[in-house]
Amino acid sequence: MPNYEYKVVPAPSKGQKAKGVKTPEGRFAHAVEAELNRLGAQGWEYCRAELLPSDERAGLTGSAVHWRNLLVFRRALEAAELPADPPLAVPGTEAELAPERADPPGPAVVVPLTGGARRMLKDNGVEEVSDVSGMTEALKSRAARQSESEDAPEADDKERKPPTLTID
């Protein structure tokens, strides 16, 4: 499986004049085409265009959300360019079972993650955008723990420490 590096560039915001191109739509298409061809000549493969929010300052203390159009490109990394990260663990092997770091101090709450959503309502091929049908087992166990802790009498609020969740 090849590894990729990605490049994200802002999409052109206005058209580019060219001989024979008269309309604003044509000039804009020409600007996008020129950017795609420029990066394609450098070995970048076009993946997709994204519209993402950007929080920016507005005035002295405020902020505003501006939406930015971006073009996403990728190219395969050569074997010499690969990062020196350790290989990923394969499920059921020793590498997966061996601890990579010491456990953090303090009590840990283990949440069983069996089951899950019953079905996916819609798939656009990139990300899940629909609501999940049904409550997951993790949410059910959290709700049960929370209702148990509300029913149990509390000794002293100062001595009570919040539980920590360890996810490996």
Dist. CA 19–CA 166, nearest whole Å: 62
Confidence of residue 145 (pLDDT cuts 50, 70, 90): confident
Instruction: Enter the tokens of residue 23.
Output: 């309309």
Dump pLDDT digits (tens) for 81-112: 655 665 565 565 555 555 555 555 555 555 55
Where do we find the tokens 């539980």? 163
Q: Over the stretch 19-70, which tens digit does the pLDDT of each residue have? A: 999 999 999 999 999 999 999 999 999 999 999 999 999 888 899 999 999 9
Residue 74 has pLDDT above 70, yes or no: yes
Q: How far apart are CA 137 and CA 114, in angstroms?
A: 6
Angle CA(150)–CA(151)–CA(153) in degrees, nearest 5? 90
Q: What's the pTM?
A: 0.46
